Amino acid sequence: MTAASDNVAWLTEDAYKRLQDELEYLMGPARTEIAKRIEAARAEGDLSENGGYHAAKEEQGKQEARIHQLQQLLQRAKVGETPADDGVVEPGMIVEVKFAGDDEVERFLLGSRELASLDESVEIEVYSPQSPLGAAIHGKRAGEKASYEAPNGRTVTVEIVSVKPYKG
């Protein structure tokens, strides 16, 4: 994996559009609304004891942080390009794995962790390609095994059971 691809956020067209719409709302009507609330609270007088003013300023800070987060995510987004159904593990694929010593199959999307935290429609666990597991299985195929070092220092081995493109 190249350094340029490490920073890509894989998003479906629907997720990209939804996040773009949220960004437009936050930068337009929401900014105007919060500015009006701050101005109205400021007009009430003494700002040191003005709870409405401080609450509005705090909300404005959270809103600006969200705008920044969305801008960064959307700049890195790779949109609507479902990977080929070639059985190779890469971002945008649903992967099923078995951990060594466990017969249970774990199913997850290899993709943007931001997508999981920002898009409520994603109803599957999401692992980042940069995570230890994601990095270990990237480029592998069903039937192959991969090992990685877990945060606790143990070596974990997984077998890839299946790989299919995420249809979102």
Q: Which of 20-29, 110-119, 148-157 has the lowest mean pLDDT?
A: 110-119
pLDDT tens by residue, 107-140:
998 887 666 555 555 577 888 888 899 999 999 9
Q: Is residue 87 part of a domain?
A: no
CA 94, CA 137: separation in Å to the nearest integer? 12
Residues 99 and 32 occupy one common structural domain: no
Do residues 102 and 53 both lie within one domain? no
Inside any domain, residue 27: yes
Domain that holds residue 8: 3-79
146: pLDDT strictly greater than 90: yes
Q: With 60 as the cut, is the pLDDT of residue 104 above it? A: yes
CATH number of 64's domain: 1.10.287.180
CB atoms within 10 A of CB 91: 23
Section 24-42 average pLDDT: 94
The per-residue pLDDT for 76 is: 82
Fill in the amino acid letter for 65. Answer: A
Q: Residue 126: its pLDDT value, please?
A: 85
Round the average pLDDT of the chain to a whole number and report it: 84
Domains in the chain, number: 2
Are residue 97 and residue 131 in the same domain, yes or no? yes
Global pTM exceeds 0.85: no
152/103 same-domain check: yes
Centre a 10 Å sphere on the Cβ of residue 108 and count the other Cβ atoms it contains: 17
In a domain, 150, yes or no: yes
Residue 85 lies in a domain: no
Last residue of a domain, one of 47, 79, 111: 79
Predicted local confidence at residue 135, as pLDDT: 93
- Contact between 124 and 131 (Cβ < 8 Å): no
Query: Is there a single domain that holds both residue 125 and residue 72?
Result: no
Smallest CA-to-CA distance from 93 within 84, 103, 102 is with 84
